[in-house]
Amino acid sequence: MLPRMDKDSAPPSGSPTSAARPFVAVRIAVMTVSDSRTAADDKSGDTLAARIDEAGHRLAARCITRDDVASIAAQLRQWIDDPGIDVVISTGGTGVTGRDVTPEAFAQVSEKDIPGFGELFRWISYQKIGTSTVQSRAVAGVARGTYLFALPGSPGACKDGWDGILRDQLDYRHMPCNFVELMPRLREHENI
C-alpha cells in the first residue's frame, strides 16, 4: 500500500540521482490529442515541451492529432518507426467520454504495457483532485524500443505526470533504476 500524504505535501521524489552517471538527453515527441486545440492554445503541449526543455532533453517532434483511434495510432506508428524518437508523450483523450480514445489507440501499437505508470499517476493525481482521478485512463507502454506515455489533457495533469514520474524515470542518473538505462535492451526479443 502506498503511503498516505497530506493534502499540501508533494509526492516523494524517489531516490536520489547518481553524480557518477552522466546526464543522457532523451529525444521526446509530444502529441496533443484534441478536436479543438490549435498550436496557439495548446497549453498542455506547451507545459510538456517546457518541462522537456528545462530537463535538458530534446523535443524531437510535436503535433496535434484529432480524437480518432486510427489517426492517433498512425501518428504513434510513424514516431515509433523514427529512430530519432525515444519517447512519445501524449496529452488528451484519456477520459471516459465517447471522444476519449487515446488508450484504445495506444493498445493497437503497444507491445508491452507499463501498468504502474497509470497506477502511480492516479495516486499522485488523487492527492490533488481526490476521487475525480478515477476518470483518468492514463496508460503507458513500449513499442519497438519506443516508450509511450498517455496523460490527460490538462496542464495540471501534464505537470503531475512529468514532475511526479517522468522527470525521474527519464533521467539516466535516477537511482536505483530508470527507463533510460533500459533503452538499449528494449528490442532484445527481436534478435532471438
Give the 3-state DSSP-derived string for 33-80, with helices as H, strands as E and coil as C.
Answer: ECCCCCCCCCHHHHHHHHHHHHHCCEEEEEEEECCCHHHHHHHHHHHH
Positive or negative torsion for Cα 123, 161, 139, 69: positive
User: Is residue 119 domain-resident?
Assistant: yes
Query: What is the rounded end-to-end Cα distance, in angstroms, of the chain?
Result: 38
Range of the structural domain that residue 74 is part of: 27-180
d(CA 191, CA 123): 37
User: Is residue 43 domain-resident?
Assistant: yes
User: Is residue 187 domain-resident?
Assistant: no
CATH of the domain at 72: 3.40.980.10
Lowest mean pLDDT among 4-13, 62-71, 83-92, 99-108: 4-13
User: Is residue 16 domain-resident?
Assistant: no
Tens of pLDDT, residue by residue over 83-133, are 999 999 999 999 999 999 999 999 999 999 999 999 999 999 999 999 999
User: Is residue 21 domain-resident?
Assistant: no
Domain count of the chain? 1
Tens of pLDDT, residue by residue over 157-182, are 999 999 999 999 999 999 999 999 99
User: Is residue 13 domain-resident?
Assistant: no
Question: Quick one: DSSP state of residue 152?
Answer: -
User: Is residue 99 domain-resident?
Assistant: yes
User: Is residue 174 domain-resident?
Assistant: yes
